[in-house]
Amino acid sequence: MGKYMPNSLDEELLEQEAEEEDQQPSQEEVDQYILEQEIEEYNQQQRLAEIQKQKQAGSADKAKKTKKWYGRYKKAGIVLEFLGASFPVWGPIVLVLGGALLVIVIMIVGCNQTGLTGLVTRAASKFFPIDVCKQLAFNGGTSGGGGGGASFAWEPADLVALSGVSVDSQTSDPRVRQCMLGKVQQIVGAAASAGVQVTITSAFRSGDFPSRHAFGEAVDISIRPPPSQPWSSNPQIAKLVQIAKGAGFNPPPGDTIDEYNHPVERTSGGHVHVEFNKISADGSYCAPYPNPPAPS
């Protein structure tokens, strides 16, 4: 037999087998791949374990909070149950104390009011075992701007209702001191004799310090029907001013102010203002105060 000589086909097969051997991974590469897969699987298991741990911790925390709030609600329920059961004991006490507090607040406010409200409150306070308004009285105070000064419950104890004179229906508190009443009656009577019809439009104004109205020693007198303009030359106004001064309302005992022609800051409507002046905290030119000291 002759020597075997590879043909081209055999050569191609050999080359193909060699290429396939080159393409197959080596044992070292296979081992490296397996190791990487195992590491990845381990890491994934670790992540799953961490997630599960976080879920368990969250559930435990939620359960702890739920238990805490439940405990609070339970305690609140016990308290409410106790309050409900004991209401017949403490309920009437609270109602009485609340009612007493409400009465005190009403009296404090009412005693310091002007007009009918203050008058009724001060009258009602006398029916208590003690005169509430008198006990709540304050001494002292300063004047305020248009609308009144500081409001205090002090008032002279000898206030009387205006009588024998015409009083306007809008007058908030138609009272003056006993020593003032006769002077007001004198002015009104003299004005009527002179053909000037007048009415009292303001008298006592509780708490309106330092106005003499707050002491029951001032009144505002208005002509009715209202005098014609110009007021500066109206004979009725001039006559009323003359009569008031003639009744003794001249310095130092008192003052007569023509607020028709010389209105002051708080003047509301034309009138003639007359007042007695104060001497001290114990009294004025009208008379000593029966319950000094009076606010300044």
Q: Identify the residue whose tokens are 């037999």.
A: 1
- Asked whether residue 176 carries a pLDDT value surpassing 90, the answer given is yes
For 274, phi then psi, to 5°, come to -125, 145
Report the candidate in 254, 167, 239 with the shortest Cα–Cα distance to residue 203: 167
Across residues 227-231, what is the average pLDDT?
94
Q: What angle do CA 118, 120, 122 make, to 5 degrees?
A: 65
- Asked whether residue 152 carries a pLDDT value surpassing 70, the answer given is no
For 82-123, write each residue's pLDDT tens digit. Answer: 778 887 888 889 888 888 788 777 776 666 555 556 666 766
Contact by Cβ (8 Å): 260, 196 = no
Greatest mean pLDDT range, 46-60, 93-107, 125-139, 226-240: 226-240
pLDDT at residue 229 in the model: 93
pLDDT at residue 283 in the model: 93
- Asked whether residue 11 carries a pLDDT value surpassing 80, the answer given is no
- Asked whether residue 142 carries a pLDDT value surpassing 70, the answer given is no
Paired strand residues for 45: none
Higher confidence at residue 122 or residue 182?
Answer: 182
| Domains along the sequence of the chain with CATH | 155-284 (3.30.1380.10)
Higher confidence at residue 44 or residue 142?
Answer: 44
With bands split at pLDDT 50, 70 and 90, how would you rate the model's confidence at 2?
low
Q: Residues of the chain with pLDDT > 90: what percent?
A: 42
pLDDT at residue 20 in the model: 64
For 290, phi then psi, to 5°, come to -70, -15
- Asked whether residue 1 carries a pLDDT value surpassing 70, the answer given is no
- Asked whether residue 202 carries a pLDDT value surpassing 90, the answer given is yes
| CA dihedral sign of residues 233, 234, 239, 242 | negative
Contact by Cβ (8 Å): 218, 211 = yes
pLDDT at residue 106 in the model: 74
Q: Give Cα separations from 3 to 6, 102, 283, 285 (angstroms).
A: 10, 135, 162, 166
With bands split at pLDDT 50, 70 and 90, how would you rate the model's confidence at 55?
confident
Q: Give Cα separations from 199 to 53, 203, 259 (angstroms).
A: 95, 11, 15
Q: Identify the residue whose tokens are 């005098």.
A: 227
Three-class SS string for the chain?
A: CCCCCCCHHHHHHHHHHHHHHHHCCCHHHHHHHHHHHHHHHHHHHHHHHHHHHHHHHHHHHHHHHHHHHHHHHHHHHHHHHHHHHHHHHHHHHHHHHHHHHHHHHHHHHHHCCCHHHHHHHHHHHCCCCCCHHHHCCCCCCCCCCCCCCCCCCCCCCCEEECCCCCECCCCCCCEEEHHHHHHHHHHHHHHHHCCCCEEEEECCCCCCCCCHHHHCCEEEEEECCCCCCCHHHCHHHHHHHHHHHHCCCCCCCEEEEECCCCCCCCCCCCCEEEEECEEECCEECCCECCCCCCCC
Mean pLDDT of the chain, nearest integer: 81
With bands split at pLDDT 50, 70 and 90, how would you rate the model's confidence at 139?
very low
